[in-house]
Amino acid sequence: MTQPWTHIPIMAAEIAQLLLTRPEGIYMDGTLGLGGHTKFFLSQLAPQAHIYGFDKDPQALQMAQERVQDARLTPCHASYSQAVEVLAAQGVQALDGALFDLGLSSYQLDDPSRGFSLLREGPLDMRFDTTQPLTAATIVNTWSLEELERIFKEYGEERRAAQVAHALVTYRRTQPVQTTLQLKQVAESVLGPQRGRIHPATQIFQALRIACNQEFSNVAQITKVIEQLLKPGARCAVLTFHSLEDRLVKNQFKALAATGQWKLVTKHALAPDYEEVKQNRRARSAKLRVIERV
């Protein structure tokens, strides 16, 4: 498979230092992507270590295997929310650590056919798992005005959510919204064209992606997964890329720590240093939080 995408795992060294407490351990990469973090982790781990890499995107799993090329990686085509059942089927009952990188893979964002980016014309798809039926096009063309307004407000934190939802419902009465350019144009009719660094339709695209892939309901499952899988002394690291997800993770970790059975390894979210952001613009909004089972 041709792999034109550059892939730079964000905060890989920092995460490895905080997460890999047992060199010979069994770990989980809850969002394998192109395998950047896993490849780096395996370079730091012992020969008997193993990583189970989860991803809903079958294309990502294939590319990760090609990039990592290490028998210590077992790819799993499933959401991390299904990890307990999937790992049990592999004979794994407990883990020494788990990473959840909640960012979008570079190749997904850069591939126009996936429909994630407003910078390129493509079908309005946005599915992580292309075997699932729900697309962003289905959402914008069939969901009610009230539902569209809700997701734009809740998932996109868009102040003019009602106006954008109304514009979409009006537009689709004459023709379906099928491409990223159409969605961008409808959003611009309300929000205006790009004037600064961030396009005003970015939050609308974000909201649709979150709704399409049920991202927040999956993030809410992280606590359940790590409570059932992590051993005492094992750690969980979560990398988020927008404030809504970071808030969810912060609150989950705070609730776990309040039980006395977990402790916060990072009291506050960590961010990439200046040099990393300079070399990789996609790192600029990253936040890392780590918790340990005691």
pLDDT at 69 over 60: yes
Q: Provide the pLDDT for residue 5.
A: 52
Q: What confidence tens digit (pLDDT) does each residue in 210-243 have? A: 999 998 888 999 999 999 999 999 999 999 998 8
Set out the domains of the chain in order of their start, with CATH numbers: 12-107+216-293 (3.40.50.150), 113-214 (1.10.150.170)
pLDDT at 98 over 80: yes
Q: Which residues contact 291 (CB under 8 A, 6 or more apart)?
A: 226, 235, 236, 253, 256, 257, 262, 263, 264, 265
DSSP letter string over 1-41?
---------TTHHHHHHHH---TT-EEEESS-TTSHHHHHH
pLDDT at 194 over 90: no
Nearest to 151 by CA among 67, 63, 71, 210: 210
145 — pLDDT class (breaks 50, 70, 90):
very high
pTM for this predicted structure: 0.88
pLDDT at 38 over 90: yes
Give 149's DSSP letter. H
User: What is d(CA 65, CA 34) in angstroms, rounded to the nearest whole number?
Assistant: 8
104 — pLDDT class (breaks 50, 70, 90):
confident
Q: Provide the pLDDT for residue 175.
A: 97
Residue 35 and residue 42 in contact, taking contact as beta carbons nearer than 8 Å: no
Give 199's DSSP letter. -
Q: Provide the pLDDT for residue 120.
A: 84
Q: What confidence tens digit (pLDDT) does each residue in 261-292 have? A: 999 999 999 999 999 999 888 888 999 999 99
Output the average pLDDT for the chain: 93
- Distances in Å between the Cα of 164 and the Cα atoms of 23, 97, 134, 140, 262 are 51, 42, 21, 11, 43
Dihedral, CA atoms, 40, 45, 47, 48, nearest 10 degrees? -120
H/E run at residue 191:
helix 180-191
